[in-house]
Amino acid sequence: MKRRGVLLCILVGLFVLVSCQVFAQPPVREQLVYSLTAFNGSTYSKSFAPQSEDTVYLIANTNNVVSPRKTIVYYWPITRRYMAGFSTLNEGIPGKLEILQGGKVIATLEERKYVLYYPEGYWSEKTVMYLDEEADAKHSEYKKAMDAFNEKLKQYYEDMRKYREELNKFFEEVRKRREAGETGPLNIPVPKEPSPPEFVNFYVSEPAYGFIVNLPPGHYEMRVRLDDGTILEGSEKRIVVFTSRRKGGVGYEIIPGNRWTRRENCDDPSWIIHAVGKNELYFNPFTQEEYNELYHNKLQDPQNIGRVERWKWVHVDPVKEATLLFGRGKEILRAVTRAPYFVKQIPGPELGYEIVDYDEDLKKRGYKPTFESYKVILGPELPKVDYTIQTVSGEDHIPLPKSERTIRFLRKEYSVYLYLVAFIPLLVGASLIVSRRAKVET
């Protein structure tokens, strides 16, 4: 009994010790980091490089923002990543950024003002960076557009107030006349509901300052030289500036109609799109470029991982003015144009959704399209053979290079054989065991 009690105490102690380690606050310390706003091929991604990462990766011949900052850094064991508390401490470092190659300083950079311009709103697929005077002009344009929108919105609220008053008077007048015995049409003008103003269709970030790094492909180093002429300790890092291996070709983002939130990519021309039963597939074609997987992953976040021997396709520009051809062999079954769609929430406990065509009724009610895409319906009436999709230019209908993909139907009636195949290793293993036991017995 005493041994059991001692063992129980030891187990409880270990449990308490592990619990304290799990729920303990991670150590927090001030650290010099590099805040990065790097171009990833189509837009700009924000990240930071902690002291644990000694290399920064950037795409060649593009403007990238590098900003040394003093902030709070802590390690988060759950994600195995260092996290930055910029909301708690975000202090700039006065000085200049030196770029070195082969141990020699080739450029000394000073901070410049910049903004990011999103031509289709904050969630634009493309982003443009403006510097210095152009940054001020672009931000001023955005502020004027927002001020004009706010004035229209203020007027809209006032018009809505008057509309409600007129509507109440309308119903009151109808009630009085009906009570007075009037029948038939009353010929009372119905108040017209005002329309809300269109929101500003672009976005410009607040002006900020940073070192603009734009370099040709190669390996470099960087460091911060303070105003007193000394080198800031811990500011030395390597820079790998790279470019794409291949350009051209078309990749696809595919939105399954029954899995709206789980988008998939089909980038390589050799990949096959598999379908089962009835499907509604929404295709978004992109021009693309091929980058080294490790370099590009590290560009988007220096703490990412990847394999230097592998390559990945990156979507660059959406293909909009085009036609998607759905066919079988050389026969074209359907020509699909780009159209807007709206994702409608289905009420009820299941919290589902439905993708519907964006029409004038939704527009009048103030809704905007959720997305635009090329819709291909794969109905059960189609023969179970291979089909193809291909994107052609909108004007001369010339096929875009490397845009053809194969769609293959999977036959459900043969799916039972897959279970039989899964049992083959078990049957082989069982036969080996039986044969060995038989040999031992003999």
Euclidean distance between CA atoms 179 and 365, whole angstroms:
34
SS3 state at 405: strand
pLDDT of residue 236: 96
Euclidean distance between CA atoms 73 and 88, whole angstroms:
10
Can you give the pTM of this predicted structure?
0.78
Euclidean distance between CA atoms 113 and 130, whole angstroms:
8
Task: Give the H or E element holding residue 160.
Answer: helix 132-179
SS3 state at 315: strand
Euclidean distance between CA atoms 365 and 358, whole angstroms:
11
Euclidean distance between CA atoms 220 and 139, whole angstroms:
33
Euclidean distance between CA atoms 442 and 437, whole angstroms:
9
pLDDT band at 20 (very low <50, low <70, confident <90, very high): very low
Token pair 């080996």: residue: 432
Residue in 152, 173, 391 with CA at minimum distance from that of residue 269: 391
Q: Once rounded to an integer, what is the mean pLDDT over residues 80-84? A: 92
pLDDT at 4 over 60: no
pLDDT band at 5 (very low <50, low <70, confident <90, very high): low
218: left (phi over 0), alpha (psi -120 to 50) or beta: left
Q: Once rounded to an integer, what is the mean pLDDT over residues 243-266? A: 88
What is the pLDDT of the chain when averaged over all its residues? 86
Decide the pairing of beta strands 272-275 and 405-409: parallel
* Span 381-405, pLDDT tens digits: 788 888 999 999 877 788 999 999 9
* Span 153-167, pLDDT tens digits: 999 999 999 999 999
Euclidean distance between CA atoms 117 and 134, whole angstroms:
11
Beta bridge partners of 137: none
Tokens of 153: 């919105």
Distances (CA, A) of 40 to 11, 92, 95, 241, 291: 51, 25, 27, 12, 10
